[in-house]
Structure 1
Amino acid sequence: MKKLTLYSIQWAGVVLVFLTLFSCEKILETDLPENQIESETVFENVQTANSVLSGLYAGLFDSSPVSGDQSGYSLGLYTDDLDFYALSNTSGLLEIANNTLNDANATTSSFWTAAYQKVYVCNTILEGIEYSQGIGSADRQRIKGEALAMRSLLFFYLQQIYGDIPYPVTTNYMINQSISKTPSAEVMTRLELDLEEAVGLLPDAYRNAERIFINKKAAQLLLAKVYMQQLKSQQAETVLKSVVQSSLYQFQNDLTKVFLKSGTHIIWQLKPRNNTDAVKEATAYYFANAAPLYVAASPSLVSSFTAGDLRRSQWMAAVTVGGTTWYRIEKYKARSANTTEYSIVLRLEEAYLLLAEALARQNKTAEAISYINPVRQRSGQALLLVSVSQQVLLDEIVKENRKEFFTEMGNRFLTLKRFGLLDTLIQTKPNWKNYHRNWPLPQSELLLNKNLNPQNQGY
């Protein structure tokens, strides 16, 4: 079977998005013919253009860096959130858990392919909307803003995980088949520009009450994440304050309601393909009355919670068999007949902790305390005093990120990378090496396009 790669997804991407959008009737309210539509037709009508966007959102839920069984699962194993218990190698996950990756690893390759497939669809939308004559200005701007934000999200994860990456901005096959890598610093600069443009194009108002489509504030939080990975604290502070001070959002003080889809602390979430489907996070980590078949919370994660931290009791469940106790991740609980949960990509607590960090890095510790303490108070922890030192505060922010966002969208990996702490994983991951800050580029891609060489260091 021919392997799907960055350079063979041109037609696959188009077919995928149209097949997907026609199966997304639970998201969409427009009836379309059950076949492929030429882009000239699609982007002359706001309903069909929105349908393509909805197909893209559905694709993000199904298979992408923000799909519930990709970043949280694979990066949770790669860092120290999860331990792997499968008796046989499952799609390369054993090598990820053991930090013994090579460039033929199936999981890292599929991660790359899924992301670039969605990038191609984003570029299809951006090209189609650019020349549309039948869609009004406001809708054209919004559609472009959503596509730019989603493409930026994909490139962000690709850069953080692989380092220097291709940055295709066209659907032109002749360009994409021989594209070179863009240096990481340039990728981040381009992400800033794209997300700043997206912020300018998008409205604050959600176009769906369930917050399943990106709005201005979601794009701003993505921009702030890009700023913070570069330690641009002052720029991040300005953007994050726009998010946390918005009347659209209220901090969720009830820990049992954090992962319910109706919360006003949710900035953006992904809806399952069908009503009553469970989100992937609800089933990916589940095991009961037996030893784990695949993954469980690592002892390092379990022991990171201080006594009385309610997140351990609310978001994990102990399973004891034969005198041995494991902990399963149980943030999402609706495993069947789901009517209460969507997969949350961005929530207010992330904006709070990023803002606390941005302020702390500028030595504005007293102000930073006001954004970390609500997260601590909700979980039953003692509040930090305003007299805390800058370094202690930054250390606490790392700890809070782990306890608040374990197995969510690779947060642990991103946090350790931002703080320069990835090499501390050697304490719990005996095979960890310095070069593991990046995954290897897929061997299949290097064989197809020699301009992607050299391979990442160490592989």
Structure 2
Amino acid sequence: MKFKLFDIYLYQTLFVLLCSLLSSCEDFVDVEIPEHKIVSETVFNDNTTANSAVVGIYNELFRSYFSGGGRNSTQVLAGLSADNLRTIILDDDLIEYEQNKISIQNSSNLNLWSSAYNIVYMCNAVLDGLQKSEGVSAEMEVQLTGEVRFVRAFVYFYLVNLYGEVPLILTPDYRKNALASRNTIDEIYSLMIDDLENAVAVLGNTYKDGERTRANKFTAMALLARVHLYKGNWDRAETLSNQVILESQTYELLDDMGRVFLANSKEAIWQISPIGSGSSLAHTKEGNLFIILENPNYATPVSLSNNFVESFSKEDARLTSWIHTFSTESNTFYHPFKYKVKYASSGEITEYSMVLRLAEQYLIRCEARTHQGKLLGAIADLDRIRERANLSLISNIAPGIDQKALLDSISAERRRELFTEWGHRWLDLKRTGRISTVLSPIKTSWQDLDALYPIPEGEISKNPNLTQNNGY
């Protein structure tokens, strides 16, 4: 994606304005802000600046702890909480995630929480500004509102699945936000579904400038399919994922697995670009953190667990294409290699961080069909994933597979296909009720209450209406 230097400066300026509109970019609510009218007149006086404010939200997704792919990201922390990643340096915050004994003072947890809510606040500020603006065209307002509501739903999906009941913040009013109490999980899912249905209804079918970094109709539809899968609405999950899969002019399950995570890959439904850093860096944070080329250090604190690597059969193409090794005199470390670029200080950006991709939609449709007893269609979906991975087809080796065995196979394929992508394994274990069964034999101090992360102590101390999760 190519930007003029002026554009980058404009996005950075608008981001600062948005941060001032919120109370703080890192704290829940702490610092007084200027009057909203001043900021809204500056940011929403015409289509160009309003559009740039929304681009600023997308850019913040790359910078944010929550979504950027670095050491405090959902990708890393949820991977450690499950059984896919392990720590390979002494880092108390990360070790607490691996051992599922997260303290309420854990700084990684605070970074995860506060940066996610920062994006929520930015979304609310833009939505409020768009609604009040007289300078933005009606068509542009509808488009930008759909995109921002998609991003807000995306962030809340992770907040509710990582922390359980959380405050449902729908306004940039810091006075109300400072005393917000926790909402029920059903209330949060209701908001997500409403936001995503709006986005599906108003967004177009194409990507702006061919860049898959902004939401379109099918981006929202893909996330809505996942939401309905988590809610157990099997028919809706099947219908929505099916619509995305059928959009074959735009999306394709790539046979060349080395090309899946490239910028604007045809498998990508939504990606985050490193352009959001506002610098010349041309690599993803996932590539920089996961790829191990020297003795493990602060920059490379995790590797794949032996348990996870051993779950692959030798012929699985994902084992050779998406996993590499680094060996010292005493250890061999298996590291993710979905992203091939570790560090690039400048040059062409060849990889974007993958957020939503077509393979997940096949797995969603497969699982939804299985729960409805549509086993032949489910097997066909699972075989599409297995065929690409060079594995024997279920239709050949177990054509009479029953529902329970097929669900077990889906779980195994989701783990191998989606590893290090947005905490899928951790969330899958929780939503399917298997988390204690799977983790208690390998996590020596596992307790059922460990399935939720703690609300950061600093947030509770500032808000008397904010309660803590059980067990903390």
Work out whether the TM-score is over 0.5.
yes
Give the corresponding residue for 1:436. 450
Q: Secondary structure at the match of 2:373?
A: coil
* Residue 66 (structure 2) aligns with: 65
- Any idea what SS the aligned residue of 1:38 has? helix
1:282 aligns to 2:283 (yes or no): no
Answer whether contact 1:416 1:422 (CA < 8 A) is retained.
yes
Equivalent residues in 2 for 1:403-414, closer than 5 Å: 403-414=416-427
CA distance in 2, matches of 1:296, 1:251: 27
Moved more, 323-332 or 46-55: 323-332
Q: 1:393 aligns to what?
A: 406
Give the equivalent residue in structure 1 for 2:3: none
Instruction: Please tell me the residue identity of whatever aligns with 1:184.
Output: I
1:81 maps to which residue? 84
Question: Structure 2 length normalisation: TM-score?
Answer: 0.88
Task: Give the Cα separation in 2 of the matches to 1:371 and 1:304.
Answer: 21
Greater Cα shift, 267-276 or 304-313? 267-276
8 Å Cα contact 1:316/1:329 also seen in 2: yes
Unaligned runs of 5+ in 1: 15-35
Structure 2 residue matching 1:458: 3-state secondary structure: coil
Is 1:154 the counterpart of 2:155 in the alignment?
yes
Once the 2 structures are TM-superposed, how far is the Cα of residue 289 of structure 1 from its aligned partner? 4.6
Taking the aligned partners of 2:341 and 2:286, their CA distance within structure 1 comes to 10
Residue 16 of structure 2 is matched in structure 1 by none
1:134-149 matches, cutoff 5 A: 134-149=135-150
The reply on whether 1:358 has 2:368 as its aligned counterpart is yes
Equivalent position of 1:372 in the other structure:
382
Distance 1:10 1:313 in 2: 53
Which residue number corresponds to residue 313 of structure 2? 306
Contact 1:9 1:117 in 2 (8 A): no
Q: Which position in structure 1 is the counterpart of 2:104?
A: 103
Measured after TM superposition, the shift of residue 152 of structure 1 is 0.7
User: Does 2:205 correspond to 1:204?
Assistant: yes
User: Which letter maps to 1:353?
Assistant: L
Following TM superposition, by how much is the alpha carbon of 1:245 offset from its aligned partner in structure 2, in angstroms?
0.7
Q: Tell me the CA shift for residue 370 of structure 1.
A: 1.9
Shift of 1:364: 0.6
- Specify the code of the residue in structure 1 equivalent to 2:288: T
Q: Which residue matches 2:14?
A: none
Distance 1:252 1:37, change over 3 A: farther
> Deviation of residue 161 (structure 1)?
0.4
TM-score (norm 1): 0.90
Question: What's the Cα RMSD here?
Answer: 2.0
- Give how far 1:401 is off: 0.8
Structure 2 residue identity aligned to 1:144: T
Query: 1:426 offset after TM fit, Å?
Result: 1.4
Question: CA-to-partner distance for each residue in 1:35-75, whole Å, 9 max, x for gaps?
Answer: x9721232231111111111111111111533212011111
Shift of 1:242: 1.2
Question: Per the alignment, in what secondary structure is the counterpart of residue 451 of structure 1?
Answer: coil
- AA aligned to 1:79 is A
Where structure 2 has 5 or more consecutive residues not aligned to the other structure, the ranges are 1-23
CA distance in 2, matches of 1:94, 1:323: 21
CA distance in 1, matches of 2:40, 2:294: 52
- Post-superposition CA distance 1:96-152 (Å, at most 9, x none): 112111111111111110011111110011011112222222211110001101011
Asked if the contact 2:26–2:115 (Cα under 8 Å) also holds between the matched residues in 1, the reply is no
Taking the aligned partners of 1:437 and 1:257, their CA distance within structure 2 comes to: 34
Deviation at 1:276, TM superposition (A): 5.0
Alignment correspondent of 1:8: 30
- Write the letter of the residue equivalent to 1:416: L
SS in 2 for 1:369: helix
Report the alpha carbon displacement of residue 427 of structure 1 after superposing the two structures with TM.
2.1
The DSSP-based 3-state class of the residue aligned with 1:345 is: strand
Contact (CA 8 Å) 1:10, 1:171: kept in 2 or not? no
Q: Sequence identity of aligned pairs in percent?
A: 33
Cα displacement (A) at 1:81: 0.9
Report if the CA contact (8 A) 1:285-1:329 is conserved.
Answer: yes
Where 1:253 maps in the other structure, the secondary structure is: coil
Q: Structure 1, residues 207-236: CA drift from partner, whole Å, max 9, x if none?
A: 131211011111111111111111111111
> Separation in 1 of the partners of 2:223 and 2:31?
26
Structure 1: distance between partners of 2:349 and 2:98: 33
One-letter amino acid of the counterpart of residue 98, structure 1: Q
Where do 1:196-345 residues align within 5 Å? 196-246=197-247, 247-273=249-275, 274=279, 276-290=281-295, 294-322=301-329, 324-335=331-342, 336=344, 337=347, 339-345=349-355
SS at match of 2:394: coil
- Write the letter of the residue equivalent to 1:290: N
Could you say what secondary structure the match of 1:355 adopts?
Answer: helix
